[in-house]
């Protein structure tokens, strides 16, 4: 089994829990809550990534940043961001970075489905669902990430899946806070 599928197996419960929390967002109110949760999850994480000294194994590869698009989506609805989580710091070792990025970049796979749901609510990549447009238009970046992941000389699946589950946990906290707001 390759590394990606090991990570998928070891995070499947976390993904299912998050998916259950977000739900199907079939009303615009649900979509607003999803958007605020996603914004509050991604902004601190992307700030951490922006200040990261990248492990050499990643070469020139960098993740797709959707924070600015999420802010623009919130602005489309005149929604205020939910209060941010406190400082987000993670170990910069390659396994932790792999696990965290697996969650961030892998979420573009589910974004296809979310994008279809958003379209049914009348949203698009130029209004309200800009971040989903960005995520679904960059499949090559995910493929390049997988190539780096599989080719890395050193990889510890336990450390990487620990970091991935932590990222899912951070997402769950961000979405829970927004649901309660």
Query: Which positions lie near ligand HEM, rule CB under 6 A?
Result: 4, 8, 15, 18-19, 22, 102-103, 106-107, 109-110, 113-114, 171
Shortest Å distance, C-beta 152 to ligand HEM: 16
Cβ-based nearer residue to ligand HEM, 10 or 62: 10
Q: Among residues 15 and 94, whose Cβ is nearest to ligand HEM?
A: 15
The tokens of 64 are what?
């797709």
Closer Cβ to ligand HEM, 26 or 158, answer by number:
26
Q: Which is nearer to ligand HEM, 81 or 110 (CB)?
A: 110
Shortest spacing between CB 3 and ligand HEM, in angstroms: 10
CB of 139 to ligand HEM, least distance (A): 10
């Amino acid at each position: 089994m390759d590394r990606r599928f090991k990570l998928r197996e070891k995070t499947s419960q976390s993904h299912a829990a998050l998916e259950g929390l977000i739900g199907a967002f079939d009303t615009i109110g649900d979509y607003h809550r999803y958007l605020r949760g996603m914004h509050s999850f991604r902004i601190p994480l992307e700030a951490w990534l922006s200040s990261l000294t990248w492990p050499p194994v990643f070469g020139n590869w960098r993740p797709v940043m959707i924070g600015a698009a999420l802010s623009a989506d919130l602005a489309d609805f005149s929604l205020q961001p939910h209060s941010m989580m406190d400082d987000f710091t993670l170990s910069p070792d390659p396994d932790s970075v792999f696990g965290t990025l697996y969650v961030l970049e892998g979420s573009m796979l589910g974004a296809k489905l979310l994008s279809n749901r958003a379209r049914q609510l009348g949203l698009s990549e130029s209004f309200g669902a800009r971040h989903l447009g960005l995520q679904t238009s960059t499949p090559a970046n995910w493929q390049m990430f997988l190539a780096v992941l599989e080719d890395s000389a050193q990889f510890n699946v336990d450390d990487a899946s620990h970091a991935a589950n932590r990222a899912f946990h951070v997402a769950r906290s961000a979405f829970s806070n927004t649901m309660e707001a």
